[in-house]
C-alpha cells in the first residue's frame, strides 16, 4: 500500500546571518503519512532549524539564507497561507515561547478557535519508523533507528567522603493558596555531597529549590545553613555562597554577547563547548547552547552550593558526559549540589542520594550501581 507523501525536501540548506556553516541536505527527504521520524544530533547541530523549515518559518520569520525545495502536500511551504501553516503543529523547546493567554483553558481554546476547529482529535502512534541524524558539520543524514548513540550508560562518579553539614531542612511545608505542595520535608546536604530530586511535573521540585535559595518563603518549617536559620543570617554569608540554575536559561542572560555573560572568562566557555561563540548574542543560541551558557554563568560565580533545575535540558549524550565530569571535578574541590531533573540516568550517575518527591513528601530511592 502506497503511503501519502506529506513532506518532500530537495537539496535543502539554511545558513543563519551570524553563522559560517549551513545546515544542509544533499538529495531528497520524503516524509509520509503515518510516519514518525526521530531527528537526532549534537546540541547546536540544527535540529530545531530543520523543524522551523518544515513549519515554514524560514527565511521570513527566522532570517537567513535558504536554498532548495520544501513541499508540504505538494505545495511550496513558503507559499502557504498563515491559515495553512497554522495546521502544522509545532511544539517549541521553551514552553513560554508559545503561551500568550492568562489561563490554561484560554491557551487550549485560543489555537482551536483560530483554526475554527469543532472537535480536537488525538492520534497516537505507537512506533518510530525512521531516524534522521544531523551531524556536527550540519549535514543531514538518514540513518537506521538502531544507530541511535544514546543507548549507552553514563559513567558513575566515584564515592568520596563527605564533609560538614551545609544545608538542613526540618519539617518544611509550603502551599500555594490552599494547594499543599510540600508537607513536612526533612533532609540535609553535606559538603561534597550531590543530591538528586525526581518527581512528576507539578510535584514541587522547583518550589523546593526556590525555598532553599530564599526566592520563596515558607511559614512552616526551617532551613538552616551551617546550623543557622537562613532567615536570620546575612546576605553575604548565605546567598553569596549559593547559586540557583533556573529552568529557563534566558533568565540568566543580561548582555548582548556571550563572553560578557561570563566576564570574558574564555576558559569557562571552553569547558561548556561555546568557545567559538564568544561574540554571539545569547538569545540566538540553540536551546541546548543556552543551557550550557547558563551553567557557565553559574560556574563563573564560584559558589559553594549549586542548585540545578533541569541542567541536562537540551543536552546530547556527549555534553551530558562533560557535565558529569565537570560536576565531579567541582565536587573534589569542595562544591555541593542539589539537582532537580527528570533525567534519572543522569542523576543515577552523579548523585550520592536520590529522593522522589510525590504527593508533597520526600522518599529516598535506591541508587543503581
Q: Tell how many helices (H) and how many strands (E) occur in the chain.
A: 10, 18
Q: What is the pLDDT of residues 184-214, one digit of tens each?
A: 999 999 999 999 999 999 999 999 999 999 9
What per-residue confidence (pLDDT) applies to 130? 52
Total count of residues recorded for the chain? 369
SS3 83: helix
Percent of the chain with pLDDT over 90: 44
Cβ atoms of 340 and 351 within 8 Å: the answer is no
> How far apart are the C-alpha atoms of 230 and 239, rounded to whole Å?
9
Task: Name the pTM for this structure.
Answer: 0.70
Cα angle, residue 126 at apex, residues 121 and 132 outer, rounded to 5°: 105
Selected residue with higher pLDDT from 222 and 108: 222
What per-residue confidence (pLDDT) applies to 209? 96
DSSP code string of 14-78 = EE-TT-SS-EE--SEEEEETT--EEEEE-TTSSHHHHHHHHHT-TTTTS-SEEEEEEEETTEEGG
- Assess whether the previous peptide bond of 59 is cis (omega < 30° from 0): yes
- Looking at the predicted structure, is the pLDDT value of residue 125 above 50? no
User: How many CA within 13 A on the CB side of residue 257?
Assistant: 10
- Looking at the predicted structure, is the pLDDT value of residue 144 above 90? no
What per-residue confidence (pLDDT) applies to 97? 73
Q: What is the mean pLDDT of residues 12-18?
A: 87
Q: What is the mean pLDDT of residues 254-261?
A: 94
Cβ atoms of 203 and 357 within 8 Å: the answer is yes
> How far apart are the C-alpha atoms of 220 and 49, rounded to whole Å?
47
| Domains of the chain and any CATH numbers | 5-149 (3.40.50.300), 165-365 (3.40.50.300)
**Residue where the block lists cell 503543529:** 89
Q: What is the pLDDT of residues 74-117, one digit of tens each?
A: 999 988 888 888 888 888 877 777 777 777 777 777 777 666 65
The set of cell numbers assigned to 27 is 538529495
What per-residue confidence (pLDDT) applies to 336? 97
What per-residue confidence (pLDDT) applies to 258? 95
Q: Taking phi first (over 0 means left), then psi (-120 to 50 degrees means alpha), and beta for anything else, what does residue 164 get?
A: beta
Beta strands in 154-304 (DSSP E): 165-176, 179-190, 194-198, 220-225, 228-229, 242-245
What per-residue confidence (pLDDT) applies to 235? 78
> How far apart are the C-alpha atoms of 154 and 10, rounded to whole Å?
37
Model confidence at 126, in pLDDT bands (50, 70, 90)?
Answer: very low
Cβ atoms of 49 and 14 within 8 Å: the answer is yes
> How far apart are the C-alpha atoms of 39 and 41, rounded to whole Å?
7
Q: What is the pLDDT of residues 150-183, one digit of tens each?
A: 556 788 899 899 999 999 999 999 998 888 999 9
SS3 151: helix
Q: What is the mean pLDDT of residues 121-141?
A: 49
Q: Which of 282, 240, 237 is nearest to 259 (CA)?
A: 282
Model confidence at 140, in pLDDT bands (50, 70, 90)?
Answer: low
DSSP code string of 291-315 = HHHHHHHHHHH--SEEEEESTTTT-
Average model confidence (pLDDT) for the chain?
85
What per-residue confidence (pLDDT) applies to 142? 64
Q: Which helix (H) or strand (E) holds 39?
A: strand 37-41
**Residue where the block lists cell 538528586:** 196
Q: What is the pLDDT of residues 291-327, one digit of tens each?
A: 999 999 999 988 999 999 999 988 888 888 889 988 9
What per-residue confidence (pLDDT) applies to 165? 96
Amino acid at each position: 500500500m502506497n503511503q501519502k507523501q506529506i513532506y518532500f525536501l530537495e537539496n535543502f540548506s539554511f545558513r543563519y546571518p551570524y553563522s559560517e556553516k549551513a545546515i544542509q541536505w544533499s538529495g531528497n527527504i520524503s516524509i509520509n503519512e503515518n510516519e514518525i521520524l526521530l531527528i537526532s544530533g549534537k546540541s547546536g547541530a540544527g535540529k530545531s532549524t530543520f523543524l522551523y523549515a518544515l513549519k515554514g518559518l524560514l527565511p521570513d520569520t527566522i532570517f537567513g539564507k535558504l536554498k532548495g525545495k520544501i513541499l508540504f502536500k505538494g505545495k511550496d511551504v513558503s507559499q502557504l497561507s498563515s491559515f495553512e501553516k497554522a495546521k502544522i503543529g509545532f511544539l517549541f523547546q521553551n514552553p513560554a515561547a508559545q503561551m500568550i493567554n492568562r489561563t490554561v483553558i484560554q491557551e487550549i481554546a485560543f489555537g482551536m478557535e483560530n483554526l475554527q476547529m469543532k472537535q480536537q482529535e488525538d492520534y497516537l502512534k505507537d512506533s518510530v519508523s525512521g531516524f534522521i541524524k544531523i551531524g556536527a558539520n550540519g549535514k543531514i543524514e538518514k540513518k537506521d533507528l538502531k544507530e541511535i548513540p544514546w543507548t549507552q550508560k553514563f559513567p558513575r562518579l566515584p564515592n568520596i567522603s563527605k564533609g560538614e553539614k551545609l544545608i538542613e531542612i526540618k519539617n518544611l511545608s509550603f502551599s500555594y493558596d490552599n494547594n499543599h505542595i510540600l508537607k513536612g520535608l526533612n533532609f540535609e546536604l553535606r559538603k561534597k555531597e550531590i543530591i538528586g530530586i525526581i518527581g512528576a511535573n507539578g510535584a514541587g521540585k522547583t518550589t523546593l529549590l526556590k525555598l532553599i535559595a530564599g526566592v520563596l518563603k515558607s511559614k512552616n518549617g526551617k532551613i538552616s545553613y551551617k546550623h543557622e536559620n537562613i532567615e536570620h543570617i546575612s546576605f553575604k554569608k548565605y546567598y553569596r555562597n549559593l547559586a540557583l540554575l533556573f529552568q529557563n536559561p534566558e533568565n540568566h542572560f543580561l548582555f548582548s554577547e556571550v563572553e560578557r555573560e561570563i566576564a570574558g572568562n574564555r576558559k569557562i566557555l571552553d569547558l561548556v563547548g561555546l568557545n567559538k561563540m564568544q561574540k554571539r548574542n545569547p538569545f540566538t543560541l540553540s536551546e541546548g547552547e543556552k543551557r550550557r551558557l547558563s551553567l557557565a554563568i553559574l560556574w563563573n560565580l564560584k559558589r559553594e552550593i549549586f542548585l540545578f533545575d533541569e541542567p541536562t535540558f537540551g543536552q546530547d549524550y556527549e555534553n551530558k558526559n562533560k557535565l558529569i565530569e565537570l560536576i565531579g571535578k567541582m565536587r573534589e574541590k569542595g562544591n555541593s549540589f542539589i539537582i532537580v531533573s527528570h533525567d534519572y540516568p543522569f542523576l543515577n550517575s552523579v548523585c550520592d542520594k536520590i529522593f522522589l518527591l510525590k504527593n508533597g513528601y520526600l522518599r529516598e530511592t535506591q541508587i543503581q550501581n
